[in-house]
């Protein structure tokens, strides 16, 4: 076994909890659009938009930690890309297939569906298929709308060698320079924004730049953690900073302030959980649930369609009643169950099959050894 293959990385159980909470927040936000008198509820959720960025900042921290010195050769980079694709793409393809089928049925007049010409624009199927939909090629989100973030993460993965090179050659200053240039470009791109939805920190259809900025910030935080003594770390302080960031979101103090506090939270927790004796029985016990965050994020729009556009609307007539909130527990539970089954019986086997195929292809093209 090679040295790189033998590496062991911290579990970061608190990060897994935060990622799960972010996924549940997104699920609650999207479900709230089906609620009666939903305006106040959706506005409440929208205050916490920067928590979605936290998801990508954590991703940047974790990916940079594991691969910043392992993507600078063609072979290593190719394996990294294949590994990430094997994790993300099977579930993306499955959920995209579901919404493509709904769209085709709606266009054929077999079912009724809102936003046929926008949500189910079949001309955008290929860009969704190749994870390009958040690269500024469209003005709207289509099919499984949350997959815009996969498109953005895919862009960040492809750009990882830039971060690796900047970090290895110039250290923390190199990563800060990349982030500064990225933010300058994003601010310039949204210079004419007249409302929040047109700004880079709410961008989705061109959210690749937003996610790359978050991703780079995560890499910077990893470098900062590496320079600080472990005694400065604290899980309670991490939760405190996260709570303060949420307070600033509701106070309207801006995305930069919220993300700075989220950064402090990540640093405080990482300093603790990088230590060998930092294991928490509570966090270990939550692992079977926290590992479902990606599945919850990707499957909940499917559950939303089945239960709110389907059962609630067709079977009950979508009445304006507070019983909706009791009914909403059904798709929430269904999302968790489907995410768990999907991870065990579909995503994990599919990822293994893709990696095995990649290994066979790699061995087949290697020159024969004497």
How much is the average pLDDT of 296-312?
A: 93
Tell me the DSSP string of 275-333. STT---HHHHHHHHHHTTHHHHHHHHHHHHIIIIIIIIIIIT---SSTHHHHHTHHHHH
Q: Which of 364, 357, 302, 365 is nearest to 85 (CA)?
A: 357
pLDDT of 295 above 90: yes
pLDDT at position 6 is 55
For residues 244-266, average pLDDT: 95
Work out the percent of the chain whose per-residue pLDDT is above 90. 66
pLDDT band at 199 (very low <50, low <70, confident <90, very high): confident
The pTM of this model reads: 0.92
Residue 333, pLDDT above cutoff 90: yes
Would you give the end-to-end CA distance of the chain in angstroms? 22
Q: Of 3-17, 131-145, 196-210, 243-257, give the lowest mean pLDDT range.
A: 3-17
Please report the pLDDT score of residue 34 as a whole number: 86
pLDDT in tens, 7-19: 678 889 999 999 9
- Report the alpha-carbon distance of residue 44 to residue 54 in Å, rounded: 18
Higher-pLDDT residue of 366, 340: 340
How high is the mean pLDDT of the chain?
A: 90
Least confident of 153-157, 244-248, 317-321: 317-321
CA-based nearest residue to 337, from 308, 299, 309, 306: 299
More confident residue, 195 or 20: 20
The percentage of residues in the chain with a pLDDT greater than 70, rounded to a whole number, is 96
Binned at pLDDT 50, 70 and 90, residue 55 comes out as very high
Compare 228 and 194 and report the one with higher pLDDT: 228
**How many CA atoms lie less than 13 Å away from 132 in the CB half-sphere?**
8
Mean pLDDT, to the nearest integer, of 302-319?
85
Q: List, for residues 99-135, the tens digit of each pLDDT value.
A: 999 999 988 888 877 777 788 999 999 999 999 999 9
pLDDT at 220: 97
Answer whether residue 370 shows pLDDT above 80. no
What is the per-residue pLDDT for 185? 94
């Amino acid at each position: 076994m090679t040295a790189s293959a033998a590496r062991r990385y911290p579990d970061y159980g608190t990060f897994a909890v935060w990622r799960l909470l972010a996924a549940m927040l997104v699920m609650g936000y999207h479900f709230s659009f089906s609620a009666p008198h939903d305006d106040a509820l959706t506005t409440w959720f929208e205050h916490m938009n920067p928590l979605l960025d936290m998801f990508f900042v954590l991703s940047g921290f974790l990916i940079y930690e594991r691969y910043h010195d392992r993507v600078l050769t063609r072979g290593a980079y190719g394996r990294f890309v294949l590994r990430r694709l094997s994790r993300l793409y099977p579930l993306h393809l499955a959920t995209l297939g579901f919404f493509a089928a709904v769209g085709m049925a709606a266009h054929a007049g077999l079912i009724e569906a809102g936003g046929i010409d926008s949500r189910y624009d079949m001309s955008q199927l290929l860009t969704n298929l190749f994870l390009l939909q958040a690269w500024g090629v469209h003005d709207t989100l289509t099919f499984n709308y949350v997959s815009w973030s996969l498109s953005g993460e895919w862009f960040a993965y492809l750009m990882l060698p830039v971060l690796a090179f900047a970090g290895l050659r110039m250290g923390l200053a190199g990563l800060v320079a990349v982030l500064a240039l990225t933010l300058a470009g994003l601010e310039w791109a949204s210079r004419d924004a007249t409302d929040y939805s047109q700004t880079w920190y709410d961008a989705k259809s061109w959210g690749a730049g937003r996610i790359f900025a978050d991703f780079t910030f995560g890499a910077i935080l990893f470098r900062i953690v590496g320079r600080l003594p472990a005694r400065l770390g604290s899980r309670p302080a991490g939760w405190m900073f996260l709570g303060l960031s949420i307070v600033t979101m509701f106070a309207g103090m801006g995305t930069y302030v919220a993300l700075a506090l989220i950064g402090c939270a990540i640093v405080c927790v990482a300093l603790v959980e990088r230590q060998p004796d930092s294991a928490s029985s509570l966090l270990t016990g939550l692992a079977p649930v926290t590992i479902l965050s990606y599945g919850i994020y990707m499957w909940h729009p499917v559950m939303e369609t089945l239960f709110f556009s389907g059962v609630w609307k067709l079977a009950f007539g979508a009445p304006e009643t507070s019983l909706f909130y009791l009914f909403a527990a059904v798709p929430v539970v269904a999302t968790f169950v489907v995410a768990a089954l999907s991870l065990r019986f579909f995503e994990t086997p599919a990822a293994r099959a893709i990696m095995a195929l990649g290994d066979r292809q790699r061995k087949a093209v290697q020159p024969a050894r004497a």
